[in-house]
């Protein structure tokens, strides 16, 4: 089984790395190979229904030309799939996935693929496993996530910052001084440390569950076909 992951940022890449470690442990008899390509943000789809063709480093801007190219490369790879992971932001989840699937069909993406949408953003998957947060950050401030709505269109990374960053969100924003660099560094640390503690299956985030199911159903289908062969 081969997965080609496309993620909108480095922190999501780090979380996927941790999840793949757990998947390999869960399926020790199945050879799992993967590659992760991360982008510099989500970007935008053009309203006319096509993407910008120039390379911008943004996931949505470059998505379908890249998927077409990867699809050609993966044609000879058995049980290969392209898994695109991106944030929901303020989009309607079902409508956003439908739009992406329609554009993939229109762009003749023939390789197996799945769009996995983190609702509202990747940190929602971390907040879906409170035990993992507490294991990675024993001094985490539990009150920070008391009123958090799981997978809601609300503050997400900000909630996690208040829970685990020294001095909370205010201190992180002060250190960032209006730039994203320090926030990105913090997000990468959360993904790496909390991701290492996360349970593969015990997570209350519906969008995380969808992501893991997307992987496991393909692994199990590949296993079943191998047994029949």
Domain ranges (residues) in the chain: 2-120+205-228, 124-197
User: Looking at the chain, how many residues does it have?
Assistant: 229
Domain 2-120+205-228 has CATH 1.10.10: no
Structure tokens at 148: 């958090």
Distance from CA of residue 220 to its chain's centroid?
A: 21
Q: In the prediction, which pLDDT does 45 show?
A: 73
Structure tokens at 227: 């047994």
Which range has the worst mean pLDDT, 47-61, 123-137, 157-171?
A: 47-61
Containing 116, the helix (H) or strand (E) segment is strand 112-118
Look at residue 157 and tell me whether its pLDDT is greater than 80.
yes
Which range has the worst mean pLDDT, 3-7, 48-52, 195-199, 224-228?
A: 48-52
**Averaged over 215-219, what is the pLDDT?**
97
Look at residue 54 and tell me whether its pLDDT is greater than 50.
no
Q: In the prediction, which pLDDT does 229 show?
A: 60
Look at residue 193 and tell me whether its pLDDT is greater than 90.
yes
| Distance (Å) of CA 31 to CA 34, 42, 105, 145, 161 | 10, 31, 29, 38, 37
pLDDT bracket for residue 224 (50, 70, 90): confident
Give the HSE-up count for residue 166: Cα atoms under 13 Å, Cβ half-sphere: 2
Expressed in percent and rounded to 5, the helix, strand and coil fractions of the chain are 50, 10, 35
Q: How high does pLDDT run on average in the chain? A: 91
Q: Write the pLDDT tens digit of every residue in 88-106.
A: 877 788 899 999 999 999 9
Q: In the prediction, which pLDDT does 46 show?
A: 59
CA distance 64 to 48: 14
Q: In the prediction, which pLDDT does 99 show?
A: 92
pLDDT bracket for residue 118 (50, 70, 90): very high
Look at residue 51 and tell me whether its pLDDT is greater than 50.
no
117 sits in the region (left: phi over 0; alpha: psi -120 to 50; else beta) called: beta
Most confident region among 57-71, 82-96, 205-219 by mean pLDDT: 205-219
CA distance 124 to 198: 13
**DSSP conformation class of 227:** H
CB count in 10 Å sphere of residue 87: 23
């Amino acid at each position: 089984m081969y997965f080609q992951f496309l993620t909108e940022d480095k922190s999501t890449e780090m979380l996927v790395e941790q999840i793949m470690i757990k998947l390999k442990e869960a399926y020790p008899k199945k050879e799992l190979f993967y590659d992760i390509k991360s982008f510099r943000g989500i970007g935008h789809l053009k309203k006319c229904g096509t993407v910008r063709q120039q390379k911008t480093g943004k996931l949505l801007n470059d998505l379908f030309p890249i998927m077409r190219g990867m699809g050609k490369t993966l044609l000879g790879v058995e049980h290969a799939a392209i898994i695109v992971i991106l944030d929901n932001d303020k989009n309607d989840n079902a409508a956003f996935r439908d739009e992406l699937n329609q554009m993939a069909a229109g762009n003749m993406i023939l390789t197996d693929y799945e769009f996995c949408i983190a609702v509202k953003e990747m940190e929602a998957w971390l907040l879906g496993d409170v035990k993992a947060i507490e294991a990675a950050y024993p001094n985490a401030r539990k009150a920070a996530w008391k009123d958090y709505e799981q997978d809601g269109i609300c503050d997400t990374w900000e909630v996690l910052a208040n829970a685990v960053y020294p001095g909370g969100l205010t201190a992180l924003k002060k250190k960032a001084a209006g730039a994203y660099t320090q926030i990105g560094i913090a997000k990468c640390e959360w993904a790496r440390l909390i991701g290492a503690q996360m349970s593969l299956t015990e997570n209350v985030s519906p969008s995380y569950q969808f992501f893991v199911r997307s992987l496991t159903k393909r692994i199990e289908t590949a296993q079943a076909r191998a047994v029949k062969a």
